[in-house]
Amino acid sequence: MVEKDDASQENPPKEAWRGGGWGPAGRRGPPWRHGWGQRRRRIFRGLGCAVGLMALLVLGGMAVLSILLTRFYGGDGHTTLLVWLGGITLALGLPTLAVLIGLRTVRGFALPLTDILAAIDAVAEGDLSVRVPERGRGEMGRLSLSFNRMLGELERTERQRRNLTADVAHELRTPLHVIQGNLEGMLDGIYPTSPEQIDDTLQETRLLSRLVDDLRTLSLAEAGELPLQVGPVDMADLLADAVTSFSGQAEDGGIVLRLQMAQDAPLFVTGDADRLDQVLGNLIANALRHTPAGGTVTLSAEGEGEQLSIRVADTGAGIPAHDLPFVFDRFWRGDRARTHQDGSGSGLGLSIASQLVQAHRGTLTVQSELGAGTEFVIRLPLGTA
């Protein structure tokens, strides 16, 4: 199992707006990232020049108008000064007030919008680590916050895509190498062309087929395109069948597999019986795999308001707290040293189970404690028979 991206990839340095450019703290970003800062400075310089020119024209125009009005009405120099001051007050005071209000508007809307546009340019160049300063209040503040959340989700998705590509390549490489080695060995006469050797090769092809099927199921479920044969499902029968199916495996491993159900529990849900059976199978197989001989795996079901709660609990070693957030990730395994060759599965079972439960408008959660076992809880909306 390949390791995930290292710490530098998992927690890339956050970008910050510094002096007109996006870049890590203490280092300016590439030249194209300074474009919006330079453009913003040019805009303010242009506005300043325009306002200054308007002020000079108003001062000169009002001086000429004051002299003309004074001569027309027969006033003196004092009258001219009063008319000039009054005219300037009206001509410049109101525009100045408008400019101040405009600057406040620019600061509250234009600057955050400029930051977002600069970040969009960065994203277009493939940099998903940028973040916009969450300046401003009201709608613009919420826009900046939502934009940063969107970028965070895109960054997380891209990181998962890279990890998935590496994981799939690793998982496919092992059985392919075994198949190739066996066939080449038989062709070269190193291995005998015996039924046992052919069967070993066939087992690897089955493993490949299962892995491809699991990946297809997972991708369809995540995209919301997995076809479901929806109808009333009696979970009591489904749980009993699951216990019967895995009883032989449990007995071989020296594990007690038992079912507990309340007699009056409403156990009907609306869903796809085959997919729900697949969920139970994945959870039971996982529990048996991590429970030592002499341990117990318990299935139980009970109504919780408008939901049916199904629990799969084991008395295994448990899961460390720092691993719990990753239990439903693709190819996650508690023991990184284990591979599918020792029966630990492809690492997709819990991911598929989680997506299938979500497709039924339910939730799948896990709680565990080292040395005290693990419990998976499925919650599904109750249906009718």
Distance between terminal CA atoms of the chain? 44
Q: Which of 241, 373, 220, 239 is nearest to 297 (CA)?
A: 373
- Alpha-carbon distance 200 to 125, whole Å? 48
243 with 213, same domain: the answer is no
Which range has the top average pLDDT, 9-18, 41-50, 177-186, 307-316? 307-316
Residue 326 resides in a domain = yes
**Average model confidence (pLDDT) across the chain:** 76
125 with 209, same domain: the answer is no
Residue with the bigger pLDDT between 27 and 257: it is: 257
Looking at 223-363, list the stretches that DSSP marks H as alpha helix, in order from N- to C-terminal side.
Answer: 235-252, 273-289, 349-359
Looking at the chain, list the stretches that DSSP marks H as alpha helix, in order from N- to C-terminal side.
Answer: 7-10, 35-73, 77-105, 111-124, 138-187, 195-222, 235-252, 273-289, 349-359
Residue 356 resides in a domain = yes
Of 222, 239, 257, the last residue of a domain is 222
238 with 377, same domain: the answer is yes
185 with 240, same domain: the answer is no
Whether the per-residue pLDDT at 146 is higher than 70: the answer is yes
- Alpha-carbon distance 261 to 263, whole Å? 6
119 with 203, same domain: the answer is no
254 with 195, same domain: the answer is no
Query: Three-state SS for 21?
Result: strand
Whole domain around residue 202: which residue ranges? 171-222
Residue 153 resides in a domain = no
Supply the pLDDT for residue 28. 46
- Alpha-carbon distance 339 to 335, whole Å? 9
- Alpha-carbon distance 304 to 310, whole Å? 10
Of 157, 187, 222, the last residue of a domain is 222
217 with 241, same domain: the answer is no
Residue 255 resides in a domain = yes
Supply the pLDDT for residue 6. 43
pLDDT digits (tens, 9 = 90+) for 84-121: 666 666 666 656 666 666 666 666 666 777 778 888 88
CATH code of residue 327: 3.30.565.10
pTM above 0.75, yes or no: no
Residue 66 resides in a domain = yes
Whether the per-residue pLDDT at 212 is higher than 70: the answer is yes
Mean pLDDT of 235-250: 90
Dihedral pair phi/psi, residue 22, rounded to 5°: -90, 130
pLDDT digits (tens, 9 = 90+) for 257-308: 999 887 766 678 899 999 999 999 999 998 998 899 999 999 998 888 888 8
Task: Give 22's pLDDT tier (boundaries 50, 70, 90).
Answer: very low
HSE on the CB side for 181, CA within 13 Å? 8
Residue 287 resides in a domain = yes
Cβ proximity of 311 and 279 under 8 Å: no
Q: How far from the centroid of its chain's Cα atoms is residue 345's Cα?
A: 25
178 with 275, same domain: the answer is no
Whether the per-residue pLDDT at 343 is higher than 70: the answer is no
Measure Cα distances from 42 to 38, 47, 49, 136 in Å: 6, 9, 11, 22
Supply the pLDDT for residue 258. 92
Supply the pLDDT for residue 14. 42
Residue 141 resides in a domain = no
Residue 138 resides in a domain = no
Q: Which of 13, 12, 30, 11 is nearest to 21 (CA)?
A: 30
359 with 242, same domain: the answer is yes
Of 160, 194, 222, the last residue of a domain is 222
- In sign, the C-alpha dihedral spanning 269, 270, 271, 274 is positive
261 with 361, same domain: the answer is yes
Cβ proximity of 267 and 301 under 8 Å: yes
Residue with tokens 């799948």: 364
Dihedral pair phi/psi, residue 300, rounded to 5°: -145, 155
176 with 236, same domain: the answer is no
Supply the pLDDT for residue 329. 80
Whether the per-residue pLDDT at 345 is higher than 60: the answer is no
* Count: domains in the chain: 3
218 with 248, same domain: the answer is no
- Alpha-carbon distance 68 to 193, whole Å? 116
Task: Give 187's pLDDT tier (boundaries 50, 70, 90).
Answer: confident
